[in-house]
Amino acid sequence: MNRMSANQTKVDDSTQYDVIVVGCGGWGLAALKVLSDIGLRVLGIERKEICNNLRHYMKNMLMHSYLSYMVLDPEDPILAREGNEYHPRIEELIRSYSDFAQKFNLPIKTHHELVDIEGAKDDFLLSVRDGEGRTSCLKAKRVVLATGSYDEPNLAGIPGELNGSVQHYFHEWEHISDQRVLFMGGGFSSADGIVALCPRNTILWVVRKSKDAVDEMLHLQNFFFFDKESSVFYNEILTESQVVSLE
């Protein structure tokens, strides 16, 4: 991390907090709400938008957990309308979290990135850079790191995986057609992307899982989360296999 320079803004009463929460996804928002409720002076900082990690995925992708397991507000309007066993789309979950932050007026600075932290218990000094590149200092007695687990891609450690043609998050799909597309990995995100792309593209899917495990996953994707009559066309699936190079 970069060390703080002498010409940075000095810390004053307006930049001192009981707790600073770094990261404003679901966990960060929940922490801000609880800490605010017990009377602490808190601040959330988020380097991009609220729930930035969710914005890497297709906005229409359905979550595999019930909304009731993920929602922060018991009076959430989507939950009230759809019920406890509703599977929300990504865009609905983002809206739920954003509405939660607005409803409870949670103090959040978006487009502010933590670049350095010094100190120890009761005396932390944070260097934060805003979207314009300006750096300021914040002081806190405690720091909560809620940066999430999906903000950075899970790299395979193979040659070529950082090439510009390789996408680590599947965000938009409507404009992709008549392409040969390779999917690596046997998770639900791969299955979501394949089901979305397969009607208009040729797919090669390389997974370490067994054929039975892949068949079961695709069955669940189609039956529960997509049109029950949809099928996975133009697919070639290499099971119990792995990609060793993308060059």
pLDDT value, residue 33: 97
Whether 115 and 80 map to the same domain: the answer is: yes
CA 226, CA 221: separation in Å to the nearest integer?
6
Q: Are residues 130 and 40 located together in one domain of the fold?
A: yes
3-state secondary structure of 96: helix
Q: CA torsion, points 93, 223, 176, 67, in degrees to nearest 10?
A: 0
The answer on 158 and 108 residing in a single domain is: no
DSSP calls for 132-166: TS-EEEEEEEEEEE---SSSS------TTTTSTT-
Characterize 45-62 residue by residue with b for buried, 16 or more Cβ atoms within 10 angstroms of its Cβ, and e for exposed. bbbeebbbbbebbbeebb
Beta strands in 84-134 (DSSP E): 108-110, 112-120, 123-130
Based on the fold, state whether residues 89 and 139 are members of the same structural domain. yes
**Is 8 within a domain?**
no
Q: Is 206 within a domain?
A: yes
Whether residue 38 is found in the same domain as residue 122: yes
Q: Same domain for 223 and 115?
A: no
**168 and 236 co-located in one domain:** yes
Question: What are the C-alpha distances in Å from 116 to residues 24, 123, 147, 202?
Answer: 18, 14, 15, 46
Q: Are residues 198 and 181 in the same domain?
A: yes
Q: Is residue 205 part of a domain?
A: yes
> Taking a C-beta distance cutoff of 8 angstroms, is the pair 138, 11 a contact?
yes
Residue 117 lies in a domain: yes
Report CA Rg, the chain: 22
Query: Do both 115 and 161 map to the same domain?
Result: no
The last residue of a domain, from among 145, 166, 190:
145
- Rounded Cα distance between 143 and 205, Å, is 42
Answer for the pair 2, 127: CB distance below 8 angstroms, yes or no. Answer: yes
Q: How far, in Å, CA of 93 to CA of 62, rounded?
A: 10
In this prediction, residue 173 carries a pLDDT of: 66
Specify if 31 maps to a domain.
yes
**Do 137 and 169 reside in the same domain of the chain?**
no
Last-in-domain residue among 122, 145, 168 = 145
Residue 124 and residue 59 in one domain: yes
Written as tens digits, the pLDDT of the chain (247 aa) is: 443 433 344 555 578 999 999 999 999 999 999 999 999 999 999 999 999 888 877 777 777 788 888 999 999 999 999 988 888 888 899 999 999 999 999 999 999 999 999 998 889 999 999 999 999 999 999 999 998 766 677 788 889 988 888 888 776 667 788 888 888 887 777 777 777 787 788 888 888 888 888 777 777 665 444 444 445 554 788 889 989 998 8
Q: Note the pLDDT of residue 196.
A: 76
In this structure, is residue 7 part of a structural domain? no
> Residues 169, 139: one domain?
no
User: Containing domain of residue 194, as a range?
Assistant: 153-247
Task: State how far the Cα of 130 lies from the Cα of 182, in Å rounded to an integer.
Answer: 37
Instruction: Among 120, 145, 170, give the residue marking a domain's end.
Output: 145
d(CA 12, CA 76) in angstroms, rounded, equals: 37
5 within domain boundaries: no
What is the rounded (10 degree) CA torsion for 98, 100, 102, 105? -140
- Beta carbons of 235 and 203 less than 8 angstroms apart: yes
Task: Give dist(CA 108, CA 111) in Å, integer.
Answer: 10
Q: How far apart are CA 131 and CA 14, in angstroms?
A: 20
CATH of the domain at 30: 3.50.50.60
Q: Could you give the 3-state DSSP secondary structure of residue 110?
A: strand
Check which CATH number belongs to the domain holding 187 and give it.
Answer: 3.50.50
User: What is the number of domains present in the chain?
Assistant: 2
